């Protein structure tokens, strides 16, 4: 997928994730899960992340905030994948997670990550850039409002997982 590899921001560097970032990205995913009060649900392994992001046919992509390119210290990340709009007839970009470590907040890294992904959308001709946000995350909601994001309050998220997913799959015709 041809996209910008680097986007300089005032106090760091936004770049595509590389295999050596996997451990630190996963550590930040766990920090995010803790912040979102869902730490018990963050069970992904380094091997799963490595395969998803850097395997032979990745369908998930990541940008990181490299606070100190000399040491490779990461201040944040964004993980995204493509979706598709049947109404628009083109792909969109779905932001799965965006996280900036608390000590690095307020320096514009979150907006820089969002801007970098927006540029991917525009450059690739994608029709939308979407994500979910917890309704109690006021700081994130303020940032999103400041960049022109529009809440989709008329929609509700639906999920099937665990035993319900297994039960639903059992209803399918054998292939």
Contacts of 59 (CB under 8 A, 6+ apart): 52, 81, 82
Distances (CA, A) of 92 to 45, 85, 86, 95, 100: 27, 7, 10, 10, 23
Q: Could you tell me which of 19, 18, 17, 41 has the C-alpha nearest to residue 30? A: 41
Radius of gyration over every alpha carbon of the chain, rounded to an integer in angstroms: 17
Is 144 one of the annotated active-site residues of the chain? yes
Helix residue spans in 22-137 (DSSP H): 22-35, 46-54, 109-124
Contacts of 87 (CB under 8 A, 6+ apart): none
- Would you name the residues annotated as active-site residues? 144
């Amino acid at each position: 997928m041809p996209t910008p590899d680097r986007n300089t921001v005032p106090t760091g560097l936004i770049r595509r994730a590389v295999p050596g970032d996997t451990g630190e990205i996963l550590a930040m995913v766990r920090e995010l899960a803790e912040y979102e009060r869902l730490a018990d649900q963050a069970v992904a392994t380094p091997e799963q992340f490595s395969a998803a992001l850097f395997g032979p046919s990745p369908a998930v992509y990541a940008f990181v905030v490299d606070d100190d390119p000399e040491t490779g210290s990461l201040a944040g990340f964004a993980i995204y994948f493509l979706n598709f709009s049947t109404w628009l007839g083109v792909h969109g970009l779905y932001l799965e997670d965006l996280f900036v470590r608390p000590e690095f907040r307020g320096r514009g890294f979150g907006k820089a990550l969002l801007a970098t992904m927006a540029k991917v959308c525009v450059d690739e001709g994608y029709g939308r850039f979407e994500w979910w946000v917890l309704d109690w995350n006021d700081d994130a909601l303020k940032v999103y409002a400041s960049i022109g994001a529009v809440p989709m309050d008329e929609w509700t998220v639906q999920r099937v997982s665990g035993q319900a997913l297994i039960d639903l799959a059992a209803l399918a015709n054998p292939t």
